[in-house]
Structure 1
Amino acid sequence: MARFNYTARTAASATPSNGTLDAANRRAALQALRVRGLHVLKLDEEGAAANPSASKSGPASTNLKFTSKERLPFLESLADLIGAGMSAGESVRLLAMRLQEPKLRGLCAALWTRLGEGSNLSHAMADHPDVFDRQTVNLIAAGEATGNLSEVLTRLITHFNEQKKLRNEFIAAMAYPAFICVLGFAVVIFLLFFLMPRIQALLNSLGGKLPFATQVLVSGSRFLLFYGPLIVGVIIVATILLTRWRKTTEGRRATDGWLLRIPIVKEFVVRYAVLNFSHTLAVLLENGVTTAEALRLTERAINNTIVQEQLHEATDRVMEGSSLSASLMRTGLVAPLFLDRLSVGEQTGNLVPSLRQTATSYQAELSRRLSYVTKLFSGIALFTTFSFVAFLAYAIVSAIFEVTNSIRL
C-alpha cells in the first residue's frame, strides 16, 4: 500500500482541505476520494518522485511545442461543447479524440491527462503557461468556482477575438505601403545594377560623356556594389544584437523607452495599452476576480514596460485607498473625458460598463488613427518611390540620348 497526500474540497464548500490516504495505486486513491464526494485538487504519493513516464504515455506523448496560437481555437471548441451541455472534462476528452489539427489535439490530450489525475481544468491549463497566461487561468478558475464556465469562456473568446482583429487591422494596413516599398526597391536595384552598367559600357566604347544625372547614378551604383554587402552585413548583425539585447531586462526597458520618444509611435503604444488595460480589467472584474488581483493581472498584460510601471504605480495607489480614476489621472495615460467616465462608473457602481465603453472608444479611435497614418505613409512611400524611379528614368533617357548623339557623330 502507498500513502498519498491530497488536497480536495466538497461540493458544499469551496474551501479546500488536506489529508492523507492509503491506497494500492493512484487510480485507487482517486476512486476512493470520489466515493467520499470529494473534488480532488492535488494528489501526490509520499516519498515518490514524479514519474516521468506518466506524462509521456498515451496521446499526450507528443513532442509538439504548444504556443499561444492554440489558445483561441481551443477555447472556441471547448465553449461549443460546454454550451451544448457537456462537462468540461468530457469536452476536453472528446476534443482530444476528435480534433484533426496535431497541436490542438496534443494540447487537449495533455489537458485530459491532467484531468484524469484529478486536477481541475484551470490547474491543467496552468501547466501550459506558453498557451494560457495567468489571467486566462484565473478566469477559468473563477468560472469553475461559480459554475459560470460557459459564460467566462464566451467573454474570453470575445476578448481574444477583439485583440486579434486589432492586430489584423494593423497588419493589413501596413501591407500596402510595405509592398510599394519592396517593389520600388526592386526596380531601383534592377536599374542600378543591370541596366546602368550596360549603358555606361556602351558610352565608354563610343567615347561619349555621361550626363550629370547619369554620373550620379553610376557613382551610387559603384558605391552600393562595393560597400552594399558590408552595409547589409552591418545591418543584419546590428539587428541580431539589438534583438538579443531587447530580450534582457535592461534592453527591454531601454527600447520601450525609445518607442515612447517617437511621437506617432508613442500615441499608438499608449492608446493600445489603455485599450488592453480597460478591456482586460473589465473581463476580470465581471467574472468575479477581486479588484486587487484583477489590477495586478491586468498590468502584467501590458507589453510596454514603461507603461506597465506607470500602471503598477497606479495600482499601488488604488491599494492604498485612492480611486481608480484618480490613480490613472496621475499617470497621464488616459484622456480626461474617459477619466470622468470611469469616475462616474465608480460612484454609481457601474465600473465594468464604464471600462467597456472606454475600451470601445479607444478601439474606434485607434482604428481611425491607424487608417489615417496608413494613408499618410502610403502616400509618402508612393511619392518617394515614384520620384526616385522618375529620376532614374530621366538619367537613363539622358544617357540614351547621349549614346544616340555619339553614334551620329
Structure 2
Amino acid sequence: MPVYEYTALDRAGKTKKGILDADSTVAARQKLRGSGIFPVEVKEALSKPKGIPSGPVSLIGLLKGVKPGEIFAMTRQLSILLGAGVPLVKSLEALISQITNSMLQKIMAQIKESVNEGNSLAFSLSQHPKFFSNLYVNMVDSGEASGSLDVVLGRLAEFGEHQQALRGRFKAALAYPAFMSLIGTVVLFFLITFIVPNITKIFTDMHQTLPL
C-alpha cells in the first residue's frame, strides 16, 4: 500500500502535516476527512529518501536529517509498547504518529507497511541499511525468533544510549585540554606581541643589556 504525505487544516484552521498509508490519493483524502481534517495537498511519498550518506558505523549510521538519539528513542518506545502487549503493527502506527522527523517518519511508515504485508520486522528493517546496521537487524531477528522482541529492543536502546553518553563524555574530556591549549596560545601571543617588546624597549632606553 502506498504511503502519502499530506498537508491539511484542522477544525481550528491550523495547518497539519504528516503521512498516512492508503490505496490511492482519493482514499487518502477520504481517510483524512474521516479523521476530521480537511486535506489541502496529498502526494505520494518517495519510496526511498534521498541524501542519506553511506559509511559504516558501530550500530546505526549517523544520518543526514536523522540523529542517532531519535533512533534510540524510537527503539525504546517500540520496546515499551510491545512490552505492554500492543501488537506490532499498532505499535508502529503509534510511533509514526509521534515522530516529528519527517525522514524518519517516512522510513517507519514503509517499515510498518512491509510488516503489514506479512514480512518480519527484521526483514523490513534490513531494507533500510543506511538507517539500521546488520547488528541492529540481527538482534531484532533474534528477538522475533525467541519471542522476546520487546526485551531485545530495550537492550538495543540501552546500548545506543550508552554509546551516546560515552561519546558525550569523551567530547567533554577533550574539550578542557583543547580550551587550555587555546588559552595558552593566546597568552603566549600576548607576551610575544606586547610584553616582550616593551621590556626590550625599557632595557634599550636604559642602555642596558637584556638578561638572558
Q: Which category of TM-score, normalised to the shorter sequence, fits these structures?
A: 0.5 to 0.7
State the 1:141 CA deviation.
Answer: 0.9
Percent identity (aligned): 28
Gap regions ≥5 residues in structure 1: 1-26, 28-55, 197-392
Cα distance in 1 for residues equivalent to 2:91 and 2:178: 43
State the 1:110 CA deviation.
Answer: 3.0
Cα distance in 1 for residues equivalent to 2:160 and 2:170: 16
Which residue type is aligned with residue 134 of structure 1? N
SS at structure 2 position matched to 1:157: helix
SS at structure 1 position matched to 2:131: coil
Which residue type is aligned with residue 399 of structure 1? T
* Aligned: 1:107 with 2:99: no
Aligned to 1:399: 200
**Equivalent position to 2:52, from 65, 78, 98:** 65
The answer to which structure has the higher strand fraction is: 2
Q: Is the 8 A contact 2:78 2:91 kept in 1?
A: yes
Cα distance in 2 for residues equivalent to 1:88 and 1:160: 21
Larger radius of gyration between Structure 1 and Structure 2:
1
Aligned to 1:89: 89
Which residue type is aligned with residue 147 of structure 1? G
State the 1:112 CA deviation.
Answer: 2.1
Q: 1:153 to 1:403 in 2, by over 3 A?
A: same
Q: Is the 8 A contact 2:45 2:106 kept in 1?
A: no
Aligned to 2:14: none
SS at structure 2 position matched to 1:172: helix
Describe how 1:180-195 pairs up with structure 2 within 5 A. 180-189=180-189, 192=192, 195=193
Q: 1:397 to 1:88 in 2, by over 3 A?
A: farther
Aligned to 2:176: 176
Q: 1:109 to 1:399 in 2, by over 3 A?
A: farther
Cα distance in 2 for residues equivalent to 1:102 and 1:185: 44
Aligned to 2:150: 150
SS at structure 2 position matched to 1:171: helix
Cα distance in 2 for residues equivalent to 1:113 and 1:105: 12
Q: Is the 8 A contact 1:126 1:134 kept in 2?
A: yes
Which residue type is aligned with residue 45 of structure 2? G
Q: Is the 8 A contact 2:52 2:130 kept in 1?
A: no
State the 1:62 CA deviation.
Answer: 4.7
Cα distance in 2 for residues equivalent to 1:102 and 1:403: 70
Q: Is the 8 A contact 1:143 1:152 kept in 2?
A: yes
SS at structure 1 position matched to 2:109: helix
Q: What is the TM-score normalised by the length of structure 1?
A: 0.33
Gap regions ≥5 residues in structure 2: 1-22, 24-42, 54-60, 63-67, 208-212
Which residue type is aligned with residue 92 of structure 2? V
Aligned to 2:57: none
Q: 1:170 to 1:133 in 2, by over 3 A?
A: same
Q: What is the TM-score normalised by the length of structure 2?
A: 0.59
Q: 1:396 to 1:89 in 2, by over 3 A?
A: farther
Aligned to 2:137: 137
Q: Is the 8 A contact 1:74 1:104 kept in 2?
A: no
Larger RCO, structures 1/2 (Cα 8 Å, 6+ apart): 2
Q: 1:399 to 1:146 in 2, by over 3 A?
A: same
Which residue type is aligned with residue 126 of structure 1? S
Q: Is the 8 A contact 1:125 1:132 kept in 2?
A: yes
Q: 1:89 to 1:164 in 2, by over 3 A?
A: same
Cα distance in 2 for residues equivalent to 1:116 and 1:64: 27
Cα distance in 2 for residues equivalent to 1:92 and 1:156: 17
Moved over 6 A (4+): none
Q: Is the 8 A contact 1:60 1:109 kept in 2?
A: no
Cα distance in 1 for residues equivalent to 2:143 and 2:188: 58
Q: How many pairs does the alignment contain?
A: 153
